Structure 1
Amino acid sequence: MITNDGPVLAIDQGTSGTKALVVCPERGVIGSGAADVRPRYLPGGLVEVDPAALLSSVVDAGRQALAAAGEAVAAVGLANQGETVLAWDPATGRPLTDAIVWQDRRAEPLCTELAAYDEELRELTGLPLDPYFAAPKMAWIRRFLTQEGTVTTSDVWLIHQLTGAYVTDASTAGRTQLLDLDRVSWSERALDLFGLGAELLPRIVDAAGPVGTTTAFGPEIPLTGLLVDQQAALLAQNVTAPSTAKCTYGTGAFLLAQTGNRPRRSTNGLVGCVAWRLAGETSYCLDGQVYTVASAVRWLADLGVISGARDIDPVGSAVPDSGGVTFVPALAGLAAPWWRGDLRGSVTGLGLDTTPGHLVRALCEGIAAQVAEVAAAAAGDLGAPLSVLRVDGGLTRSALLMQTQADLLQLPVEVAELPDATALGVAAVTRLGLNPGLSLREVVAPGKPSAVYEPQISADQAAERLGVFRAEVAALLARTPTAP
């Protein structure tokens, strides 16, 4: 018989795959599973995925984790991509469109049309007007694809497929640009601006609590935990002090800093959003994004420069530096703090002596430089420098990237003991949903970092490298003026 203290199944449905963990409160992770997802990267900045592939990856990864654990679980929790959207029939659950992935840029013209309302939307929702967020893509679907059914973020569809419920959690709702950040409820004004006033919107629920039950993984179990991916990682990393932040290195990189029970509107190009809502109480955070990280590594692999992420360290370590090569990996545009999704990436300083190692090192520096710029923006908004960066995600396995990050930040970089922080975060709220009497401290294991990287170059050297990167970004901005 399963009790409220039993293991839970935590599922992280991400851009390029789904990871599932069976987490026991006493023994930690006792089973895991994974299933790949392959989005289609199309000309013109389009990124799509078959919704059925998302659902099958959730079911497959979850069943793998349960088989590996060999034990029943008390509940399941789900983390999601945040800004990926689709239209679907709420009566049958049938998708009416492909899922448009958060990286997709097709709604750029619609954002240009609404440019006069950018400041109003920032103040209302905490988010800048950009196709990255859900509402522009939702509006694009309504304008160009279909008026039928409902249009929502992908989590709503997945939850409906699993349980029949029609809900989203407050943190995911905060990624739509349709949420009133102060009231944590749908904004009629934002809905009207995007032409979505007639939409049937999901009910906004807390991160922890019963949503419904599912038999997708075997015997019937309750779904009791929901969070958007980056906020789940923020919780798992136990980032509560204003001088600390976490960064997840996945398809993109996402740096978040907790700001407490009051929302902040960034003055430095970041996003103010909901961290989570628990027992009706909302916590907020600042968020900065780098669009292409693991996706940039995959791009190098597709070109044949390396065979995959496992080559970053051996190939990059074959040379002492980038050999004068500078890589701005804006392969899907630049996000925070620039918000120029129209930009293209650049690689400069190439010569006949340039090797794959130089390109790998230049990519690591380009990723780390963008994260450093986001960290500086967060420090500006918080009014104090960061003291440490806690990191998670698959690419934290690269010692070269993590050392480069510490060097350019001039801060210690603490690598999470387990790279799957998102799944661990959703496991925590799933346990809370089962047993509301527990505290956050009781469900979030503090853990010790698996590695700590200290800066190995001087502050002057770091400033020089960041200066070169900023000059290349400035050149890109000068060549691609903002559309009128």
Structure 2
Amino acid sequence: MPECVLAVDQGTSGTKALVVCPERGVVGTGFAHVRPRYLPGGLVEVDPRELYGSVVDAGRRALADAGEPVTAVGLANQGETVLAWDPATGRPLTDALVWQDRRAEPVCAELADHAAELRHLTGLPVDPYFAAPKMAWTRRHLTRAGHVTTSDTWLVHRLTGAHVTDAATASRTGLLDLDRAEWSRRAAELYGLAGERLPDIVDNAAHVGTTTAFGPELPLTGLAVDQQAALLAQRVTEPGTAKCTYGTGAFLLAHTGDTPHRGGSGLAACVAWRLGGRTDHCLDGQVYTAASAVRWLTDLGVLTGAADLDPVGATVPDAGGVTFVPALAGLAAPWWRGDLRGSLTGLGLDTAPGHLVRALCEGLAAQVAELADAAAADLGAPLTVLRVDGGLTRSALLMQTQADLLQHPVEVSALPDATALGVGALARLGADPALALADALPGTGPTTVYEPRVTADEAAERRDRFRTAVTALLAGDPA
């Protein structure tokens, strides 16, 4: 019988672990919360020990729930979260700066004259969302000691002793030469990181070491950044289709083939995965706040949680003239204005909670539609379908709004944990190099398909209202 694997997805607000068997699917689950601290000035940080503890706890719970052995482990990571740590002891030397953290904006401002060069070299804009500015800020303001890396490298070191990162995560730093898929001396020099001991770059499916953190000694054979793992699980392995994951943020990725595709529409170009030495590439667009915007409405008392989106939204027929740009942690792709904050306009004495909910859903869907249009423009052909996953896909209101504004079908994955399942597939490939990629991936199709219910003209009108609100933000006009 084919062997089961332990797949661990270390995310922003928690770590999910699954025991996945190729014939029976998920046979065990575990979860452990992570509590990032959201501080004034756009700062977001978390205790690294909490990250590692959540990985171990979630993994052990999944194994206990399954009650059967596994042969390998896969680990997915947040992508752009950074910390400094002592390579001799594994002890963290700083808190981890979470991907949403904006404190490295001054570093980026200083590099404005080199932004075009860095974007061509690495595929990424100069923005504090990515790892390199946070690494540079950490070196300037926190410590010169130890290694400064993305969180995956530290977690893997704690688990196995190895000093590695995978090719996809490396491409999210701003330090990778995208054409050569190796560290760029020039990028490191510009960021003031020329003397750093950067981790070795490995394939996404490879044996990187063994760990006893979960009990039995197990090989770690799959590594990936979270969004690329979900892209793989969604079987977006050829150009023409995109996926969007609706988690803390919303992330749209479109496969672009086996060579880097640098477009002009504001999306990031990065590695999708490297398997057997062959590198696939993708375009990547981000909405910084999705579930975190829902949590914001919850904290205000408009909702009691994400499960309220549909019933509260159903109390009104439309957004009542309210337009919400939910840029609560800045505007990401394709605008790259992290200094901006969201806007809520068109309020009246008759504005009810349902209007705010519908306006939020419309704002999120409009941002994702902008990303899809940007990907289509860069690829030179329209996307035919959007495959979606993540917790917010449980909202029929949000998904129908997404199909309406996109004017294309939206396929909701039957895989609620696509990131974990993607890195689980990589773990299987790393443990059995003879296995074909198609045979390692989950085979389940969509659970629901949302078709557009409004005309193209109505969709265009609603998106124009959103663009007008974004333009006002960009111009500094609160109206």
TM-score by length of 2: 0.99
- Deviation readout 1:272-291 (Å, 9 max, x if unpaired): 00000011110000111100
Deviation at 1:447, TM superposition (A): 1.4
Query: Would the aligned equivalents of 2:240 and 2:255 in 1 still touch at CA under 8 Å?
Result: no
Between the aligned partners of 1:226 and 1:88, the Cα distance in structure 2 is: 20
Query: Would the aligned equivalents of 2:421 and 2:442 in 1 still touch at CA under 8 Å?
Result: no
Equivalent residue, structure 2, for 1:450:
447
Between the aligned partners of 2:391 and 2:31, the Cα distance in structure 1 is: 13
Alignment equivalent of 2:31, drawn from 22, 31, 34: 34
Alignment equivalent of 1:14, drawn from 11, 15, 40: 11
TM-score by length of 1: 0.98
Q: Is 1:182 paired with 2:175?
A: no
Between the aligned partners of 1:242 and 1:150, the Cα distance in structure 2 is: 37
- Matched letter for residue 193 of structure 2: L
Q: Is 1:348 paired with 2:348?
A: no
Structure 1 counterpart SS, 2:220: strand
Equivalent residue, structure 1, for 2:169:
172
Deviation at 1:352, TM superposition (A): 1.1
Alignment equivalent of 1:395, drawn from 386, 392, 395: 392
Alignment equivalent of 1:145, drawn from 142, 145, 149: 142
- Deviation readout 1:107-158 (Å, 9 max, x if unpaired): 1111000000000001100000000000000000000111011100000000
Equivalent residue, structure 2, for 1:245:
242
Query: Would the aligned equivalents of 2:387 and 2:413 in 1 still touch at CA under 8 Å?
Result: yes
1:43-192 equivalence runs, <5 A: 43-192=40-189
Q: Is 1:309 paired with 2:306?
A: yes
- Deviation readout 1:194-222 (Å, 9 max, x if unpaired): 00000011100000111111111111111
Q: Is 1:212 paired with 2:209?
A: yes
Aligned pair count reads 478
Alignment equivalent of 1:381, drawn from 378, 381, 401: 378
Amino-acid identity (%): 76
Q: Is 1:369 paired with 2:366?
A: yes
Query: Would the aligned equivalents of 1:237 and 1:446 in 2 still touch at CA under 8 Å?
Result: no
Structure 1 counterpart SS, 2:475: helix
Deviation at 1:60, TM superposition (A): 1.0
Structure 2 counterpart SS, 1:301: helix
- Deviation readout 1:399-442 (Å, 9 max, x if unpaired): 11000000000010000102110001001110000100011111
Equivalent residue, structure 1, for 2:460:
463
Equivalent residue, structure 2, for 1:334:
331
**Which consecutive unaligned segments of at least 5 residues does structure 1 have?**
none
Deviation at 1:266, TM superposition (A): 1.7
Distance change in 2, residues 1:195/1:480 (3 Å): farther
Structure 2 counterpart SS, 1:450: strand
- Matched letter for residue 260 of structure 1: G
Runs of 4+ in 1 over 4 A off after TM superposition: none
- Matched letter for residue 329 of structure 1: P
**Which consecutive unaligned segments of at least 5 residues does structure 2 have?**
none
- Deviation readout 1:247-281 (Å, 9 max, x if unpaired): 00001111001111100112100010000001111
Deviation at 1:240, TM superposition (A): 2.4
Query: Would the aligned equivalents of 1:343 and 1:480 in 2 still touch at CA under 8 Å?
Result: no
- Matched letter for residue 190 of structure 1: A
- Deviation readout 1:355-390 (Å, 9 max, x if unpaired): 111111100000000000000000000100110000
